[in-house]
Amino acid sequence: MYLSREEERILAGEEGEARRLALSVIVKVGEALGAERLIPIKHAHVSGASYSTVGEAGRRFIEDLARMGARFSVPTTVNPVGVDTEDPGRVPVRYTREYLRGQKAILDSFRSMGAELILTCTPYYTHIPRRAGLGPGSHVAWGESSAVVYGNSFLGLRTNREGGPLALMAGIAGRTYYQGLHTPEGRRPIVEVRVEYGPLDEAEAGVLGEALAEYTPHGGVPLVRARIASEPGLRELAAAVGTAGDLGMIHLEGVTPERPDTGGIVERVTIDRGEMAERMEKVAPTGRPDIVYIGCPHAGISDLELLERELRRLGKPRSRVLVSTSRHVYMEALRRGLIAKLTSYGVEFVRDTCLIVSPFRDASVSVATNSYKAYFYLSRKGVRAGLAPIPRLVESAR
Ligand code: F3S
């Protein structure tokens, strides 16, 4: 791999052991994948921050890095953790003291390395894109799969689907390997999927994501001709694509801010109304759920506005309604008076975390959600889960 003078200096340990270690990991992975050079990044977003996900081994690894004097050399933000850091009682979980201690140690280590603890999987709904100067063509290293697909597909960012540790190393090294979705070739669609039915609501968009993961060969990029009804639908589509397969990007006609090179398309698939209906039927909730769950990935303002409209229309729900969102969006919703209105209907909020990366695992309750990703992981945790858009969730909660 070609290395600049500065990169050689870092590898020689002239900028400290932590930076040397971080860059050597990036170089090794890049070489294994055939990268010929590195590329500077403008921002890193680190996942694998929840104590539920990384456990004691992860805590020790992150703490060791911090002790070694590691510092992020580009603006770096952190994904949700296992707890609402201001009010752990908001999550329907009984935390052990050991859990809270472990989670705090992880957060303290990230803070000491200079990370901004936004603790959300939707950094694109915060001040981060503006502050880090991110726009179409910006190279970043993001570790949260839903954000990776959203960033590549709808913001024109360039990022591979980094595992948590690799985004962490890239943030310390300030660069990553130039390969895959960083390159024009890596972003060429290889399959075209046309959806003959739409516009799709956010639950249908999630199910489309599942289909795209099935129809696109390993690690490829699909060109998608579909109509998605709203921005939350894009977020749910991105999250589902990242959940159901290993894709890091889709080209969505009319939305993705770059012109696809269609010369490499080898297969064309059509999804009709019948296929969508069949897929939706398989995941539909039944009866009144114990919990309506919204906010995976973390809810944005428009989700909260829609939820408030539907609650106003249909009245106070009998099911528990739980929303996970970022502290940033929560503050904005507070300013707009949305939190007051929603809490008057009994809506509960968790920030910094979600039902998936917290230790929530209550197999005795049923959960209905508008997120394919939440549906997928809650089902895996043994929770009875179903998928439907917000108006139908509110309807079913009465
Ligand atoms: Fe975010 Fe948790 Fe879903 S981290 S993408 S809300 S699983």
Q: Cα separation of 121 and 143, whole Å?
A: 9
Gyration radius from the chain CA atoms:
21
Task: Using the predicted structure, report yes or no on whether residue 164 has a pLDDT greater than 90.
Answer: no
Task: Using the predicted structure, report yes or no on whether residue 319 has a pLDDT greater than 90.
Answer: yes
Say yes or no: CB of residue 240 within 6 Å of ligand 1. Answer: no
* Mean pLDDT along residues 203-214: 98
| N-terminal to C-terminal alpha carbon distance within the chain | 61
Between β-strands 366-369 and 384-387, what pairing exists: parallel, antiparallel or unpaired?
parallel
* Non-local CB neighbours of 10 within 8 Å, separated by 6+ positions: 19, 20, 23, 173
CA–CA distance from 270 to each of 103, 123, 211, 251, 273 (Å)? 46, 33, 11, 16, 10
Q: Cα separation of 81 and 109, whole Å?
A: 13
Between β-strands 38-40 and 175-177, what pairing exists: parallel, antiparallel or unpaired?
antiparallel
Spacing, Cα 355 to ligand 1 middle (Å): 8
User: What H or E segment, with its residue span, contains residue 374?
Assistant: helix 372-380
Residue ranges covered by each domain of the chain: 5-182, 185-281, 284-396
* Mean pLDDT along residues 146-160: 98
Quick: pLDDT tens for 250-263: 999 999 999 999 99
* Mean pLDDT along residues 109-133: 98
Task: Using the predicted structure, report yes or no on whether residue 305 has a pLDDT greater than 90.
Answer: yes
Give 368's Cβ-side CA count (13 Å radius). 22
Residue 382: pLDDT band (50, 70, 90) is very high
Spacing, Cα 223 to ligand 1 middle (Å): 25
* Mean pLDDT along residues 119-131: 97
pLDDT at site 219: 83
Residue 217: pLDDT band (50, 70, 90) is confident
Percent of the chain with pLDDT over 90: 98
> One fold for both 5-182 and 284-396?
yes
CA–CA distance from 34 to each of 113, 180, 369 (Å)? 30, 10, 41
Q: Which of 144, 351, 356 has the most ligand 1 atoms within 8 A of CB, as the residue to mutate?
A: 356
Say yes or no: CB of residue 356 within 6 Å of ligand 1. Answer: yes
For the segment(s) 284-396, the CATH number from 3.40.50.880, 2.40.420.20, 3.30.70.660, 3.30.499.10 is 3.30.499.10
Q: Cα separation of 330 and 228, whole Å?
A: 25
The 3-state DSSP class for residue 274 equals helix
User: What H or E segment, with its residue span, contains residue 240?
Assistant: helix 231-244
Question: What is the pTM (predicted TM-score) of this model?
Answer: 0.97
Residue 213: pLDDT band (50, 70, 90) is very high
pLDDT at site 359: 95
* Mean pLDDT along residues 103-118: 98
Q: Cα separation of 324 and 352, whole Å?
A: 8
Residue 193: pLDDT band (50, 70, 90) is very high
Q: Name the region of 319 (left: φ>0; alpha: ψ -120 to 50; beta: rest).
A: beta
Task: Using the predicted structure, report yes or no on whether residue 144 has a pLDDT greater than 90.
Answer: yes
- Looking at the CA of residue 373, tell me the nearest atom of ligand 1: 3
- pLDDT, averaged across the chain: 97
Instruction: Take atom 3 of ligand 1 and give the residue whose Cα is closest.
Output: 296
Q: Cα separation of 91 and 105, whole Å?
A: 20
Instruction: Take atom 1 of ligand 1 and give the residue whose Cα is closest.
Output: 297
CB 93 within 8 A of CB 359: yes
pLDDT at site 204: 98
pLDDT at site 51: 98
CA 127 to chain centre: 16
Quick: pLDDT tens for 333-355: 999 999 999 999 999 999 999 99
Q: Which of 78, 241, 298 has the most ligand 1 atoms within 8 A of CB, as the residue to mutate?
A: 298
Task: Using the predicted structure, report yes or no on whether residue 163 has a pLDDT greater than 90.
Answer: no
CA–CA distance from 390 to each of 177, 273, 340, 370, 394 (Å)? 40, 21, 19, 6, 6
pLDDT at site 268: 97
* Mean pLDDT along residues 352-379: 96
β partners of residue 142: 45, 161
* Mean pLDDT along residues 117-142: 98
Spacing, Cα 362 to ligand 1 middle (Å): 17
In sequence order, which ranges of 68-161 are alpha helices (DSSP H)? 97-112, 128-131, 145-150
* Mean pLDDT along residues 104-110: 98
Q: Which two tokens stand for residue 60?
A: 């020790």
Pick the residue with more confidence: 117 or 217? 117
CB 145 within 8 A of CB 151: no
Pick the residue with more confidence: 163 or 97? 97
Cis before residue 129, ω within 30 degrees of 0? no
Q: Which CATH architecture has domain 5-182?
A: 2-Layer Sandwich (3.30)
Quick: pLDDT tens for 42-101: 999 999 999 999 999 999 999 999 999 999 999 999 999 999 999 999 999 999 999 999
* Non-local CB neighbours of 142 within 8 Å, separated by 6+ positions: 43, 44, 45, 123, 148, 151, 157, 159, 162, 167
Q: Which two tokens stand for residue 387?
A: 């998928």
* Mean pLDDT along residues 112-124: 98
